[in-house]
């Protein structure tokens, strides 16, 4: 059992590195080959870096890393450190990829619509690979998560849209081109739709709820708890046709965790029956406030003070 756990850990680390590396390369291509050479700033920290590049000629990847540094520090204080570790790794990889790819792959400056579409496709594919493994690239998504804790009446999607919109408007002013802003909107739209399609189809919701039926329900529930740090509820069931009694596992996860969870289930039982549905809102431990998402730096400090 211990050997199997070590193998699973090694496999997960390998997949994390592989997906983050491929995702970083694709994201770097999106920025260095398509967006930056054509003065398209598709929101977020990368968009701000592209704008600054046109003003003070700083490398886009390096500037993105610098701008993300305060967000990382803020995230360590406000969010769970488990999420931040992967985020730091992803930020470093994508930042390096942007600058390195700019040295070796020539920019494409042809038809602007093709530029916007392919920038969105490569960005979306790259980010999807990173999100699949539970990471983020900092920027808009991290800023939105942090702001969401201060302004809980705004959804994360709306906060992300607001931040991106501000960057796009600024880019139109700096580049003196309304068309540039319009193409940036196309990039954002294509990228977000592709991310949605890769991660969880075309469904839209704040979380996902899975019902899992398997002859190996105990093994699956233990794997979910130990490898994904998610809770599982065991429901007693009885087949209407067969009359056989069994267990149904109920598990709530974030959207980007669905792919990883289904893969984990299939590794244990290839014949497992899985129903995936939308969860419009999830409150409690591991999700929305009233049970903090993960152990944070604030929690650690508070706990130490109590012990003292």
- 36-47 burial, b if ≥16 CB within 10 A, otherwise e? bbbbbbbbbbbb
Residues 230, 82 within the same domain: no
Q: Which residues contact 124 (CB under 8 A, 6 or more apart)?
A: 190, 191, 192, 193, 194, 195, 198
In a domain, 298, yes or no: no
Cα end-to-end span (Å), the chain? 39
Answer whether residue 154 shows pLDDT above 70: no
Query: Which residue in 200, 187, 168, 61 sits closest to 124, CA to CA?
Result: 187
Residues 71, 165 within the same domain: yes
In a domain, 297, yes or no: no
205 CB burial (10 A radius; 0-12, 13-18, 19+): middle
- Give, for 246, the enclosing helix (H) or strand (E): strand 245-253
pLDDT in tens, 61-118: 999 999 988 888 877 776 666 667 888 888 999 999 999 999 999 999 889 999 999 9
Residues 17, 137 within the same domain: yes
pLDDT in the model for residue 291: 45
Residues 18, 55 within the same domain: yes
**Residue 131's domain spans which residues?**
2-200
Residues 12, 131 within the same domain: yes
The count of structural domains within the chain is 2
Q: Where residue 139 falls among pLDDT bands split at 50, 70, 90?
A: confident
In a domain, 305, yes or no: no
What is the CATH number for 263? 3.30.70.120
Residues 213, 181 within the same domain: no
Residues 235, 143 within the same domain: no
Answer whether residue 143 shows pLDDT above 90: no
In a domain, 124, yes or no: yes
DSSP string, 152-221: TTS-HHHHHHHHHHHHHHHHHHHHT-HHHHHHHHHHHHHHHHHHHHHHHTB---SEEEEEEE-TTHHHHH
Residues 72, 187 within the same domain: yes
Q: What is the mean pLDDT of residues 109-129?
A: 92
In a domain, 294, yes or no: no
């Amino acid at each position: 059992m211990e050997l199997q756990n070590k193998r699973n850990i090694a496999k997960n680390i390998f997949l994390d590195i592989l997906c983050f590396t491929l995702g970083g390369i694709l994201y770097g291509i999106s920025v260095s080959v398509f967006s930056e050479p054509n003065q398209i700033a598709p929101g977020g920290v990368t968009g701000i870096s592209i704008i600054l590049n046109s003003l003070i000629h700083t490398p886009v990847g390096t500037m993105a890393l610098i701008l993300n540094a305060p967000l990382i520090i803020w995230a360590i204080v406000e969010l769970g450190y488990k999420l931040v570790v992967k985020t730091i790794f992803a930020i470093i990889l994508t930042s390096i990829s942007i600058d390195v790819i700019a040295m070796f792959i020539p920019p494409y400056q042809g038809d602007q619509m093709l530029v916007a579409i392919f920038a969105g496709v490569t960005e979306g594919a790259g980010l999807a690979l990173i999100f699949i493994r539970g990471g983020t690239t900092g920027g808009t998504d991290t800023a939105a998560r942090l702001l969401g804790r201060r302004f809980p009446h705004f959804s994360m999607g709306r906060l992300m849209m607001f931040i991106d919109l501000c960057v796009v408007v600024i880019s139109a002013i700096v580049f003196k081109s309304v068309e540039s802003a319009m193409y940036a909107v196309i990039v954002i739209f294509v990228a977000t739709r592709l991310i949605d399609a890769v991660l969880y189809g075309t469904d839209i919701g704040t979380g996902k709820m899975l019902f899992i039926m398997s002859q190996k329900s105990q093994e699956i529930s233990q794997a979910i708890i130990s490898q994904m740090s998610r809770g599982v509820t065991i429901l007693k069931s009885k087949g209407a046709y067969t009359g056989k009694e069994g267990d149904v596992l109920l598990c709530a996860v974030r959207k980007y965790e669905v792919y990883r969870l289904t893969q984990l289930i299939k590794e244990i039982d290839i014949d497992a029956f899985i129903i995936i549905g939308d969860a419009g809102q999830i409150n409690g431990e591991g999700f929305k406030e009233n049970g903090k998402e993960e152990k944070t730096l604030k929690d650690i400090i508070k706990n130490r003070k109590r012990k003292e």
